[in-house]
Structure 1
Amino acid sequence: MQDTDPAVLSVLRQTFGYDSFRPGQGEVIADLTAGHDAFVLMPTGGGKSLCYQVPALVRSGVGIVVSPLIALMKDQVDALHANGVAAACYNSTQDSEEARRVLAQLHNGELQLLYVSPERLLNSSLLERLADIEIGLFAIDEAHCVSQWGHDFRPEYAALGTLRERFPAVPLVALTATADKQTRSDILRVLHLNDARIHVNGFDRPNIRYTVLEKHKPFDQLIAFLRGRDSQSGIVYALSRKRVDEIAERLSNAGVSAAAYHAGMSAKRRAEVQEAFLRDDILVVVATVAFGMGIDKPNVRFVVHYDLPKNIEGYYQETGRAGRDGLPADALLLFGAQDVVTARRLIESGNNNDQQRVETHKLNAMIGLAESVTCRRRVLLNYFGDRHQEDCGNCDVCDDPPQRFDATNDARKALSCVYRVGQRFGIKHVIDVLRGADTERIRLFGHTQLSTYGIGSDRSEIEWQSILRQLIHHGYLEQDIAHYSALKLTEDARPLLRGDEELWLAKPRMQEKPAGKRKSSSVVAPADEALFEELRQLRKQIAQDAGVPPYVVFGDATLAQMARERPLDDDAMLAISGIGQHKLAKYGAEFLDAITAYCVDSNDSALNLTPLHRRVLQAARDGLDLDQISGQCAQTLGDTSRILVELIEAGEAVDPQRLIAPRKYAMIEALLDDSDGEPDLADLRAALPPLIADHEIRLVCAAW
């Protein structure tokens, strides 16, 4: 942070209310601010918007943001207005008067950011107008729409390559959350980003817990999942409009605040449902996959797939609509054999053979994720080439691990077979060779003569499918989508083939096991829930009066931090993430009044503590040790210890066992237990070794 442009830090703090960047943001912002092109791959909810918003505010000229999502444009503009930023959108939903007003603002230099749809940008006179206007940067959001390899290809997006030709001196950034290796290369080619700085920041969303359940009375499974989530917002995705209507009606009859959303409804009704969801008037939307594109609602706590998605890109994007605020969220997939049959039938009904091949590959990868007996997150991330060596500990497989077996020899057989067939055949053919199948295709290629022919006849087809999929998930094999999903060895396969390492894999589950105890997805600790709920109600009232969604006022993460830290003055409020000067001036007084009133009513001791004392106390409650608290609060160890002693003497719950090393604590405690009456600090000091500091002795004595 010390090398970051002061103007960037000022915008980050004063406008957006953040003290630091999320991973990867700082490097992207530095490149764009300096005038470089960039490609940015960042997980949904990872903070892509800030990557172009901050440079647009720092650089001279207006930032032009191209987005296919009209709903998202409006949400982004509302959020920017709440932070005091001059922003507008220009799209097909505006009447002529509104469109003229936006263009007048653009020509008069009154806008810092303009959001525009690709159609409006390319199929109007806007490009000619922009030639006479100072432009700070171009940002192409949802850039995967550029590529024919992407899951959401849009022909009008492919024409955006003209921007680099017409505006060669203006920095251009392409941003996406869902692009595999082939799609990423295509984006760079189509947009002419030949010298772009590449920023691939991974796909992991560690706050999302992934669960897959085999379908068995799916509506009952859905109701069981929703139990205990009465006040949480969520999305339930289903395959057909008919099923969407049915689920929404049954949920409403069961007392769930739910509504349907699909293309068969009137535009007016769809807009009403979307607006009610954004304003927290409806908690659960049951929808086809069209819903959610551009819904920038950060406090979606869960996403349920009632049916199998067609590809991992869609699944990742849809589950990524949960937990965008970084707080705990859930993704549940209900998976049945009939889903696979239906999905394959839809693909085969298409006319384009190449497209069928791509879609079949993507569907098979999605089935592999659903059937996986290895960590769900590893499978998901590996698909995008984001290799994780450790299991996540936050999915159903990690919570209820399957039995494992020494698969070293089986893995070597499989890898050898992939190599022997020339690394140009898919899973089914490799399994047929391993099991010694007598098929016309095997005879045609002479694969009955291979040394690996029939060496895996002792295992079933299902077992080999599981082994090969796990080898893909673990990064020993990859599937080449451009060559008919052929299996290819990776560099990681070499030591395993040479006999330099062993490999244990999971045994496939032939039937569903009962789910283990679900981890809590609450966004606040039990002690803070009452205040958090009061702040949510205040936020909703303010948002209703202002005519904006509640999260535009403050996000759930900001409210949770308020409930935890209980700021009682402007300085303490500015220390809350997400609160800048503009929002403090606009909303700060009402929230400070609510927090103060709550503390008075509950006789909270926070009223009698200085802001520094409250910060130290919160850090201790969060489980930080003495060194960490001192660093976080910019205090010496002695000063931090003195404050902690004062907190203990004031009756606050501070546990010194969590603050200092266990061995040191045990030595001090042993002397205290042997002493009679009030401990003498001088005697203790003389009896203890020099490695134990005076402030550590005083801290243990205060608690003792």
Structure 2
Amino acid sequence: MTSAGSRFATAKDVLNQIFGYPDFRGQQQDIIEHVVEGGDALVLMPTGGGKSLCYQIPSLVRDGVGVVISPLIALMQDQVDALRTLGVRAGFLNSTQDFDQRRATEAAFVSGDLDLLYVAPEGLSTPGTQRLLERGRIALFAIDEAHCVSQWGHDFRPDYLGLSVLHERWPDVPRIALTATATSATREEIATRLQLTTARHFTASFDRPNIQYRIVAKNEPRRQLLELLRSEHAGDAGIVYCLSRASVEKTAEFLSDQGIAALPYHAGLDAGTRAANQSRFLREDGLVMVATIAFGMGIDKPDVRFVAHLDLPKSVEGYYQETGRAGRDGLPSTAWLAYGLQDVVQQRKMIESSDGDTTFRRNASAHLDAMLALCETVACRREQLLAYFGQSAATTGGCGNCDTCLNPPESWDGTVAAQKLLSTVLRLQRERGQKFGAGQSIDILLGKTTDKVTQFRHDQLSVFGIGTELREAEWRGVVRQLLAAGLLAVEGDYGTLVLTDGSADVLRGNRPVMMRREPERVRPARATRSAAPAAELPPGAEPVFERLRAWRASVAKEQKLPAYVIFHDATLRAIATLQPTTLEQLGTVSGVGQNKLAKFGQQVLDALAGE
């Protein structure tokens, strides 16, 4: 029931007047009405699915201030600026504010002059913030990025564990927890830890049909990345994820040397540099951010056209969360991963040498196994990705927009090859008492007389030279897939190969081993990003769209805001298609709310007229 103290009569009023959208999408309306009526909710919705409206609109309909718990201190200013551009009274409390700024925000909250207040989880746990909240009227609590409460998750934040205080201290205030990534087990953990066990669950489809998932065998990954960017994403904004800080620096430098505007982002950079690079990525067009996984959560940039991984993610959840930052505007985008033998070796070593207990290592291994299964599948990647989250694809027989659908790989009987490789590892250990990495075993199988082979007299082993039917790259694929299947393992600082309990069945011939054969590289059949907007615009509208983009860039620079805060590309395309001549006509375009119409309407009409 709408309270008499709220500014808007209905959720649809807010959607139309403030956000400028004609209709709700998917489950938005059900979620919003449930929270407006005072119900608790746990919402799983993919990035770009409109999660933020699910708490922003109820905050405007219900009496009081919507308090949003967000881990994204560095982005709070942008989030608040975007809301203020819409005419929403928003503020934040975090450690970046000085005393006067904080006092002014606190006063606005207590007096009811805010619609939304963003608070960091570590700030919420302080007695001072809790006393402040008791002095105002709270419409709801929104817990964004709720997967951060999962101790086995990829983004665990200890401060989230204290958020159960919300239910204990304000039992009558509805709570909505939101995330883009959670398995059924993670959903249960979120509900338990946040005391949302009686909350209504809303789970949208995890499918992002506009994202093309592609996983390639590593072969000079930076060169492969460069080819991808030049051939398919020239001038596009994108994110490149690397495992180490050193790799981030080297990759950003490499791309810059090749004429591609790239910036580094990792925890080793000083806070000022990180903030400046993040700000540039959000505000400028066509920048590539090269980063560790420390970057990206909450990035609301809709036109990220690609997300590339140069190292294997630790889990499917992490992979999905990171790739989901591409294509928030619904346009064709690419999720590209280069994956090789050394990734498997490195990840296994990291798990075995970690300080975690047995349970931690078991969970980490299970996460890695699922990620490896996604990499090695010969089936549709999208179907496998959705199945991981307990969902089925909309169609059977493949999605038609991933590499395994566009260029199907072959599977082959690799049993004999597996036996040869495992026999080599066995003979090195039994006959020589030695353990080596993958390279030495492959050299032996190929009959190479390297210095190391000669030094250790490995050319006298019975397995020497028995594997010439496969190329070195193919043998590395055999090792990689045996490691992925748990039929081979690595140990020690040098990643030496050792047999597992499952190896014996393969050696005895009791267990067949089917393997994935990498297809010959073929340029995927897909529309390039540069062609996508033109295909959606009628004849003659493309120059109008570009003129609107130029106007938007000028306004964004003047107001020191990201361009998408002014209008999304989708809205500009709709304006270029309609080419309205009056404010009334402009107001019918999706994404043009009342505040933006009043603020920018005449400027848009002038830009359309070429003035």
What TM-score does the superposition give when structure 2 sets the normalisation length? 0.80
Cα gap change, 1:215 to 1:441, in 2 (>3 Å) = closer
- Give 1:270 deviation, angstroms: 1.3
**SS of corresponding position for 1:44:** coil
Match of 1:516 in 2: 524
The answer (yes or no) to whether the contact 1:302–1:331 under 8 Å persists in 2 is yes
Match of 1:652 in 2: none
The answer (yes or no) to whether the contact 2:265–2:295 under 8 Å persists in 1 is yes
Q: Deviations over 1:624-666 (max 9, x none)?
A: xxxxxxxxxxxxxxxxxxxxxxxxxxxxxxxxxxxxxxxxxxx
Cα gap change, 1:370 to 1:530, in 2 (>3 Å) = farther
Using CA pairs below 8 Å that are at least 6 residues apart, which structure has the higher relative contact order? 2
Match of 2:266 in 1: 262
2:314 pairs with 1:301: no
Partners of 1:557 and 1:569 in 2: how far apart? 20
Counterparts of 1:39-58 in structure 2, within 5 Å, are 39-58=42-61
Q: Deviations over 1:346-397 (max 9, x none)?
A: 2222121221111111111111111221111111111111122522211111
**SS of corresponding position for 1:175:** strand
2:38 pairs with 1:35: yes
2:399 pairs with 1:395: no
Match of 1:128 in 2: 131
CA RMSD of aligned residues (A): 2.6
Match of 2:391 in 1: 386
Partners of 2:322 and 2:502 in 1: how far apart? 40
Partners of 2:576 and 2:119 in 1: how far apart? 38
Match of 1:19 in 2: 22
**SS of corresponding position for 1:89:** strand
Counterparts of 1:341-360 in structure 2, within 5 Å, are 341-353=345-357, 354-360=359-365
- Give 1:72 deviation, angstroms: 3.0
Partners of 2:582 and 2:377 in 1: how far apart? 51
2:469 pairs with 1:460: no
2:602 pairs with 1:595: no
- Give 1:458 deviation, angstroms: 7.4
- Give 1:279 deviation, angstroms: 1.0
Partners of 1:120 and 1:231 in 2: how far apart? 39
2:583 pairs with 1:574: no
Q: Select 2:245's aligned residue among 238, 241, 244.
A: 241
Counterparts of 1:43-192 in structure 2, within 5 Å, are 43-192=46-195
- Give 1:62 deviation, angstroms: 0.4
- Give 1:566 deviation, angstroms: 2.4
- Give 1:80 deviation, angstroms: 0.5
Partners of 1:512 and 1:356 in 2: how far apart? 36
Cα gap change, 1:516 to 1:322, in 2 (>3 Å) = closer
- Give 1:459 deviation, angstroms: 6.1
Cα gap change, 1:545 to 1:351, in 2 (>3 Å) = same
The answer (yes or no) to whether the contact 2:378–2:411 under 8 Å persists in 1 is no
- Give 1:172 deviation, angstroms: 0.5
Partners of 2:595 and 2:197 in 1: how far apart? 39
The one-letter code of the counterpart of 2:132 is R
The answer (yes or no) to whether the contact 1:139–1:175 under 8 Å persists in 2 is yes
Give the percent of matched residue pairs that are identical in Structure 1 and Structure 2. Answer: 50
Match of 2:377 in 1: 372
The answer (yes or no) to whether the contact 1:145–1:157 under 8 Å persists in 2 is yes
**SS of corresponding position for 1:120:** helix
Counterparts of 1:666-677 in structure 2, within 5 Å, are none
Q: Deviations over 1:95-152 (max 9, x none)?
A: 2221111111111111000000011111241112222321110000111111223222
**SS of corresponding position for 1:64:** strand
Q: Select 2:336's aligned residue among 322, 329, 332.
A: 332
Cα gap change, 1:204 to 1:442, in 2 (>3 Å) = closer
Counterparts of 1:431-510 in structure 2, within 5 Å, are 457=509, 460-461=512-513, 463=514, 508-510=516-518
Partners of 1:556 and 1:300 in 2: how far apart? 12
2:327 pairs with 1:323: yes
In structure 1, stretches of 5+ residues that fail to align are 406-425, 430-438, 467-507, 599-704
Match of 2:551 in 1: 538
Cα gap change, 1:564 to 1:509, in 2 (>3 Å) = farther
The one-letter code of the counterpart of 1:113 is L
What TM-score does the superposition give when structure 1 sets the normalisation length? 0.70
Stretch deviating more after TM superposition (93-102 or 226-235): 226-235
